[in-house]
Structure formats: C-alpha cells, structure tokens
Amino acid sequence: MPWRRTWRSCTSWRRSTTGARCARPGPSSPGVPDLFRYNAALAIARRDSVIPVEGHYHAFTNRGPVGVVADIAPFNHPLLIASRNLAPTFASGCTTVVKPSELTPLTTLRLAEIFTEAGLPPGVFNVVTGVGAAAGKALSEHPGINKLVLTGGTEAGRSAGAAAARNFVRQTLELGGKTPVIVFDDYSVDQAVNYAAFGAFVGAGQTCVCAARHIVHRRVYDEFVEKLARKADGLVVGDPFDPRTQMGPVVSQRQRERILDYVRIGVAEGARLAAGGVVPPALSDSSGFYVRPTVLADVRPEMRVAREEVFGPFTVVLPFDTEEEAIAIANGSEYGLAAAVRTNDVARAHRVANALEAGIVWVNDHHRVDAASPWGGVKLSGIGREFGQEAFDGYFDTKAVMVNTSNAPFDWFDVSQTHARLN
C-alpha cells in the first residue's frame, strides 16, 4: 500500500537526520513517527473484553470508533501536537476535522498533502482554517462532531468545551499551566540551573509545561538566582536559521507585549528583575518578535507573576524553608498540568511527587515525553489524557453484548414458570 512506503521513508528520514540526537540521553519529546507507530501497535493488539457473569450467558464488549473528531490545535509545536491526536484518531478508525492556529496553518496544510500522497482515503483527514472565534467556534458547536480535542489556553478551552457540551460531545482538553519546579538543597545547583534554563526557555518558553515557577530552598536560593540569571544573560537570542542561535523569537508582537507587560507588573509588585525583560537592542528593528529570557526573583506566591500564565521565556523564583511549604506553594495554583522536583533523596522524591496536584510530574528532568505515558492536567489545566493507552481508549464507544446460551423456554407471564423461578 502507498502509505506503507511513505511510513518507511519517514522513519528512515528520522533515523538519518536525528538519530544521533535521539540516542543522546536527555529531555526530549517523541518523534512524530513514534506516535503513529505506538498507536498502530495498540490497534493491532486491541482486545475486547469477555465478562464472566452468572448463569447461562456469554457477555462481552464490542468497541467501535466514536466517529468524527474535531481537533483544534495551537500555534506551538503544530506538527507534534496535531499528531499526538491524529495518531489515535486514525488507529481507532475515526475521521477528523483539524482547525490549526491561524498563526501556524501551513504545517497542517502540508500534512494534508502528505496524507493524500500516502493514500489516505478522502474524507478521513480534513482541514478548516480561520480564527478561533469563528472557525473554532463553528467546529466546536457543530452537531456532527462526536469528540472534541483542543490544546490551548484555559479560556479557549472553556468556550469550546461549553459549546461542545451542548451536544454532549466527549472532550479532551489540554489547557494552560503554571508549572512549579521544587529545588531542594541536596541537589546540584548547577544541574538545577541547567534544567531551569531548559525548562523555562526552550521553544522561547511557549509551552504549557514551561518551567514557570522555581521554588528554591532558601539555603541555595541566592546561588540559584545568581547562576540562573547569568545563564539567561548568556543565551544567544536571534534568527532560528543561524546555527549559533540558542533561542528564537516569540510568535507575535502581541505575545511579546504580553511578556513585557508581565515584567512591568512583577517589578511593580516588588519582584526583582534578575535577568532579561527587554527586547535585545541589536534586534529591536528586526521583523522577528524577540525578547531576552527573563528571570524575576524575590517573588511571593500571591503576586500575579506567580499565578498567571505568561507563555514566553519568563520564569519566577520563590524561596521556601520546609518541604510542606514548598508543596503548598506549588499546589497554590488554579493550574495543574505539570510539575517537577529536584532532589537526590529517593523517599522525598516519591513523597513530593505524590503530593503535587498535577497530571505530569518530572523528577530530576523536564519536558520528558513518551508516546506510552499519559499526558494531561487537573484543575483548570484540562480534562482527559493524550498519549498512552488512556488516550487510545478515549476514541471508542463501548457496547456491551449479553448472549443467552440456553434453549430453555421463556414466558415471563406464565404462572408455572414464575413459580419455578421463585423456587
């Protein structure tokens, strides 16, 4: 089949171009082919359940695809995030209509061309472009969809989710975040700083699991702030096509202004600007929307910069004294997508991970994703899970079948049979 040839060439391309990088240990996301391969394996290995019941009955379940999946995708990581939902959609036998972000539609349109070249039947993958308030709204409230999948801000999820709920559509929503990172004093400060810079500034911080709040033990707090500020100031910001560049621009002028506004808000609230918070002077006339990676120190939990999602290369640092205090600060948020812990104490790592109110917790790592590991949040960070068996199962309706294997005559209103049943 044509799609099989495309699949092989796609995986070969990945090995030849990214093999060395993927082989190197460290934080990463699954490659797009990994998502399709994993869900294809789930489809092949799928088993419906046989249910043991009393009497002369054979009971089992029969799962069928839910139908049409509306997929509203964000501007960040447009290929990866679209594919993490497309893979189980196709593997389950569903069809889909994808609405990409109006800021990054070209990736999804190119993907449609690739699927057509691969031999995907017409009507399985469909794309509608436009702004969220128009195209996204129309798609969410359409009575013909059976499942809504959305990755975006909490307000967008609330609006689309409410529209879809009118038709009792099942939903998977991955929404905002304000990821806390707890750094204990038994962990290497230098290593914690390296993870902090990666977690906060990779992708110019434009990810819902960005390391947004660093909650650092007071004994290493000053050292951590100083080294993180130095690390942030040393990052090379510039054109993504320049191999020397370590961080590119944010997505739009509007987003850059939002980040700079939060810098002003934080300073006005009493935070200390330790690094960044400005447009790089050498890039002020550039067509890209550049901003220096930003670190705000001496932040208090009640400040807006500690509570509200910024979505850019922007992180805050707060001190703590006890484990209980650190957990309370971390959980004192309306979001609960991801969290991280830095410690060499195994018991503490498990204890704190269990106490954190988040759908994803990393211990001595960040941004680590695997196609088999569930992904999603609690509280205002959304509902449902992507990746893993949990996501695959969410694309099916389950039908229970009960078969009477007895040939005994039945007449509920026959008095003699009723007497026999009672005795």
Q: Which of 46, 41, 114, 39 is nearest to 79 (CA)?
A: 114
Residues 6+ apart with CB under 8 A from 274: 225, 226, 228, 229, 232, 295, 296, 297, 317
Distance CA 88, CA 388 (A): 9
Candidates 94, 141, 208, 210; catalytic one: 208
Secondary structure letter of residue 305 according to DSSP: H
- Please, what is the Cα angle at 136 between 134 and 139, to 5 degrees? 105
Strands 272-275 and 294-297: antiparallel
Please say if 257 is a catalytic residue: no
Residue 179, strand partner residues: 211
| Through-space distance between the first and last CA atoms of the chain, rounded to whole angstroms | 62
Sheet (strand 50-51) strand order: 50-51, 57-65, 396-404
Catalytic residue among 94, 141, 174, 210: 174
Active site residue 22: no
Render the burial of 77-109: b for 16+ CB within 10 Å, e for the rest.
bbbbbbbbbbbbbbbbebbbbbbbbeebbebbe
Q: Which residues are marked as active site?
A: 174, 208
